[in-house]
Amino acid sequence: MQNWTGREDGFLEQIMNTFYVITNYLKDPEYRTAGNIRNYLEEKGKTCYIQERRNGILSGPYKYTDADKIPEDVEGVLVLGGDGTLLQAARDLMERKLPLLGVNMGTLGYLAEIEHKNIRPALDRLLADEYIVEQRMMIYGCVYHYGKKMLGDVALNDIVITRNGRLRVVDFNVYVDGEFLSSYSADGVIISTPTGSTGYNLSVGGPIVAPQASLILLTALAPHTLNSRPIVLPDNVEITIEIGSSHGTDIDGAEATFDGDTSVKLNSGDRIIITKAESRTLLIKTKNTSFLEILREKMNR
């Protein structure tokens, strides 16, 4: 882990001299933007590596970026693409504890702070040490089938459990720290971090939470009850979602998806246990923009 200096407000700071660029080749197919960033940083006396183009998903512990191939002297990672690319990088690099700066090369983005046209001013602020590093909590989900662990994975945004297959609702039983909370007949359930509160959670009417907070949000998807409301829980609880039966003659089951990426099919009786992850994601912020200002800007587009 890098030698970060802590501050009373919970942010971190450090002078950075060596960088690594991860780019979404679908949005930067010739690596032109990545190359321009490297050239600019090297002109300023910094060191910059670019991730080699890969073919398909990796095998082993990483899916998109092999964290073991990132040089040890790297102090900051620039992620070119959008929120999806940044989520992928956050999950692959969580054990390296490297701060990430997202560059949005798509449309709407909450995580990727910098727009493509503003890359150079952002780099100038980064090199002038005019930035902060926010710590964002992650959640960990572990799926069990007949008591046997099937999958364990982390998410920066959310873990979403939805029906699998035909358009029919599924019953979900929810427990908090082993105590029964509620049952839902719904299309699914979203378990979100504060960072993910402006993602899928927002689109279904869930609460918006400041991303630096440390809470867990639970929001039902299209619940078939009149009294269902989103629930905000402290970060130290253990949430268990038990899959009930589909409403119909054929049981299609459900599916758990981590940050819209890794997924696993769930059958009636399966459980997924969700807790706060031990690892955190570090996000670089180069603009002195409040969460409320960002929210107004993004939501008024």
Residues with a known catalytic role:
83
Phi, psi angles (nearest 5°) of residue 207: -70, 150
8 A C-beta contact, residue 98 and residue 78: no
Phi, psi angles (nearest 5°) of residue 246: -70, 160
Find residue 101's DSSP bridge partners: 78
d(CA 198, CA 158): 10
Residue entry with tokens 């727009």: 115
Q: How far is CA 295 from CA 92, 199, 247, in A?
A: 27, 12, 38
d(CA 281, CA 135): 6
Closest CA to 48 of 36, 38, 58: 38
Quote the Cα angle for 66-68-72, to 5°: 130
8 A C-beta contact, residue 11 and residue 134: yes
Closest CA to 78 of 20, 24, 123: 20
